[in-house]
Amino acid sequence: MGRGTFRAHYSGTYKNDSCKGRGLWQFRGSGKGLFIKSSTEQGYITEQKAGIYCNKTTGQATLTNARGDSITMLLNGYHIGLVGPCQADGSNGGLIEYKVTGGTGRFVNARGHGRLRFRCSVGIKEPYTDRWRGTFSY
């Protein structure tokens, strides 16, 4: 069992289907973090209009290490702009909060919370990087 500060970073590619009216932003990448070590990341974010320039985001992400142990998070937040949780310069990517809801293997009883921030170029299918910061226990 472990507990402490959770930090992770990933890079990969995202796919933005927002222009098709679905408000769906899917991402998949690889990286590493405390507790989870070298791992993959995959998830999605859906968008709902919450104002003239503001969108509410909800979604889910799963981090999985080489042994198959995974951590699952729910995502909630807001972002400014019309291009998903990223802006061209990464400055208005918005703040996404996450809550760890469980996992598999050694992380089956995982809990925690924190913040997730994306940096990426604007487009339909583009590279991204992200940074997870928060607390974690399992």
Reading the block at residue 131, the tokens are 């940074």
Q: pLDDT tens digits, residue range 95-138?
A: 789 999 999 999 999 999 999 988 887 666 789 999 999 999 99
> Is residue 89 very low, low, confident or very high in pLDDT (cuts 50, 70, 90)?
low
Reading the block at residue 57, the tokens are 């985001």
Reading the block at residue 85, the tokens are 């949780």
* Alpha helices for the chain (secondary structure H): none
Give φ, ψ of 123 to 5 degrees: 175, -170
Tell me the mean pLDDT in the region 34-39.
97
Cα separation, 71 vs 91, in Å, equals: 27
Cα separation, 121 vs 128, in Å, equals: 7
pLDDT the model gives residue 24: 82
Task: Report yes or no: 81 and 54 within 8 Å, Cβ to Cβ.
Answer: no
Task: Report yes or no: 105 and 68 within 8 Å, Cβ to Cβ.
Answer: yes
